Structure 1
């Protein structure tokens, strides 16, 4: 028994310092960031811009692996099943929260199986209408929709996307009954809106602001609590008559739950600093992304609030599978 205790003690002496050294020395090899959308997407751009800066400041290469599918579900499941050593990270998005509330039978629990690191960026949806509606602000849209129940159609980039659920949240808060028309992507949805086949849409700023500038669409408001950096003169939905309305397409770095707290904290500090770098700020703003930052705890609280909000919307709209 004494020999067994001695051996166990020697194992602790050897293993614990090695584990501590591994954490202190992190990263000692390249770090992979898995993105659930293709190259050129906002999630991909956020990851690549940050990876370039982290490679410079942390002394190891941070590289991107794109694994699209299932609205980022395929990538999330791969990361959950992988090693929890800090060398495989995940670019979490609002799509993961929406998928979790729409499909409670997923093979993983997004809130439980991922550790938040930093809320990195967001992009607001812009509420736009076809000029033929004669609508120029949110209050007029609410009046127009209430005067035409079931006859006002809003497009989106697909069922369960942020633009879709932004429309459902609008219906819920405004007491309107706009009808959802899903498309296979934003481009076709915007094309039909410009053609007048639909009347309303919540769309990423980068997709529609050019058509607002040309007069083909009328912008009413941006969807986040704060005004969008890409359209600072445009009021928010909340300040235009629907207090509490706050939606965006957001992105944040995460690790599989069980990753060392010391490693996630080290990453959080490095990422938060990267988001303050002038070159990073310029690159992200050029891509139409608003910069966030903060602590893992703040990001975790934000994900929890997003989960509750979208769960309420999904229940109210009867969208649960």
Structure 2
């Protein structure tokens, strides 16, 4: 009897069934999602909307843990070193594919040591300017900047942040020379833009939405794949023929490399179930967050392309972190 049982198990394992049996109990304890930024930031708000609903679908609690520092590299390294069993995940974002170029001494390789699970969506960004700028559209703004080399500026929330890199991308792709003015955070950058001390700012849409609606800032273009319902008249960069600005501040889930494929698939499907709910989409839209198609393959493709793109921008502009 024991021999027959061993023979049957060996046969099933050879067919790949034994592995499926080994994971059949997943999840049998809480799943933890680590965020590399403080509470209240975009990713944190989004994940705290999704976590309890994902927990309902999975049948286990989904716990959100903030572990900020080093532009999310501390959190990413922790996940890269975690057990690849599907119980410890990273809420990844644009910073995770920028950091390898800024910090070449990182002790882990984001693309190698973390496996993509699925995309969640993106927080579109806006290029906004002071109302005194003599331009009504993105095309006019580019033309104006070309006539005023080195005399127009853009603010950022610090060297190496995505608000800085988008400005450098704009310079490199449009043949303009906007002067970079870095700040220690977005609050003072926005204050100086409103006061007219700087000309432009690339910013998450949610941060500047109220000022655009009030007319105290002018929105020239949207970074993202679709227009914002709250600002339907603001076109995307792609719509006016400017490439390389399709990807805004995106968010996804990554697991440690080596996490079994069936667990990765289960996580992706359960998240897709949550994101398909109309009430969830409504909550995320209220946060200026657009959901995107999920799945391992499209997310892996995005990570590869984004890593290459930002590496080229960082090298061309010789960007050094603060």
Relative to the length of structure 1, the TM-score reads: 0.92
Contact 1:46–1:121 (CA under 8 A) maintained in structure 2:
no
CA distance in structure 2 between the partners assigned to 1:237 and 1:206 by the alignment: 18
Q: Cα distance 1:108–1:221, how it changes in 2: closer, same or farther (>3 A)?
A: same
CA distance in structure 1 between the partners assigned to 2:237 and 2:20 by the alignment: 49
Count of equivalent residues: 313
Pairs within 5 Å for 1:75-114: 75-114=75-114
Deviations 1:96-152 (CA, angstroms, capped at 9, x unpaired): 001112222211101111111111010111011111122211122112211111111
Q: For 1:131, what is the secondary structure of its paired residue? A: coil
Deviations 1:35-73 (CA, angstroms, capped at 9, x unpaired): 001111111122222211111111000010100111101
CA distance in structure 2 between the partners assigned to 1:75 and 1:163 by the alignment: 21
Structure 2 residue aligned with 1:187: 187
Contact 1:129–1:218 (CA under 8 A) maintained in structure 2:
yes
Pairs within 5 Å for 1:118-133: 118-133=118-133
Structure 1 residue aligned with 2:246: 246
CA distance in structure 2 between the partners assigned to 1:247 and 1:297 by the alignment: 16
Structure 2 residue aligned with 1:145: 145
Q: For 1:38, what is the secondary structure of its paired residue? A: coil
Structure 1 residue aligned with 2:279: 279
Shifted more, 225-234 versus 258-267: the winner is 225-234
| 1:320, distance to aligned residue in structure 2 (A) | 5.9
Pairs within 5 Å for 1:233-312: 233-312=233-312
Structure 2 residue aligned with 1:3: none
Q: Which runs of no fewer than 5 residues in structure 1 stay unpaired?
A: 1-5
Contact 1:275–1:293 (CA under 8 A) maintained in structure 2:
no
| 1:281, distance to aligned residue in structure 2 (A) | 1.0
Shifted more, 225-234 versus 285-294: the winner is 225-234
CA distance in structure 1 between the partners assigned to 2:237 and 2:18 by the alignment: 53
Q: Cα distance 1:169–1:253, how it changes in 2: closer, same or farther (>3 A)?
A: same
Contact 1:27–1:60 (CA under 8 A) maintained in structure 2:
yes
Contact 1:129–1:135 (CA under 8 A) maintained in structure 2:
no
Contact 1:166–1:247 (CA under 8 A) maintained in structure 2:
no
| 1:179, distance to aligned residue in structure 2 (A) | 0.9
Q: Which runs of no fewer than 5 residues in structure 2 stay unpaired?
A: none
Q: For 2:90, what is the secondary structure of its paired residue? A: strand
Q: For 2:104, what is the secondary structure of its paired residue? A: coil
Q: Cα distance 1:269–1:305, how it changes in 2: closer, same or farther (>3 A)?
A: same
CA distance in structure 1 between the partners assigned to 2:285 and 2:212 by the alignment: 19
Q: For 2:26, what is the secondary structure of its paired residue? A: coil
Q: Structure 1 stretches (4+) deviating beyond 3 angstroms?
A: 16-22
Structure 2 residue aligned with 1:157: 157
CA distance in structure 2 between the partners assigned to 1:185 and 1:220 by the alignment: 22
Structure 2 residue aligned with 1:55: 55
Alignment root-mean-square deviation, CA:
2.1
Shifted more, 228-237 versus 106-115: the winner is 228-237
Shifted more, 116-125 versus 240-249: the winner is 240-249
Structure 1 residue aligned with 2:168: 168
CA distance in structure 2 between the partners assigned to 1:51 and 1:287 by the alignment: 16
Contact 1:46–1:251 (CA under 8 A) maintained in structure 2:
no
Q: For 2:197, what is the secondary structure of its paired residue? A: coil
Contact 2:139–2:240 (CA under 8 A) maintained in structure 1:
yes
CA distance in structure 2 between the partners assigned to 1:80 and 1:188 by the alignment: 34
Contact 2:20–2:262 (CA under 8 A) maintained in structure 1:
no
Contact 1:205–1:230 (CA under 8 A) maintained in structure 2:
no
CA distance in structure 1 between the partners assigned to 2:305 and 2:229 by the alignment: 23
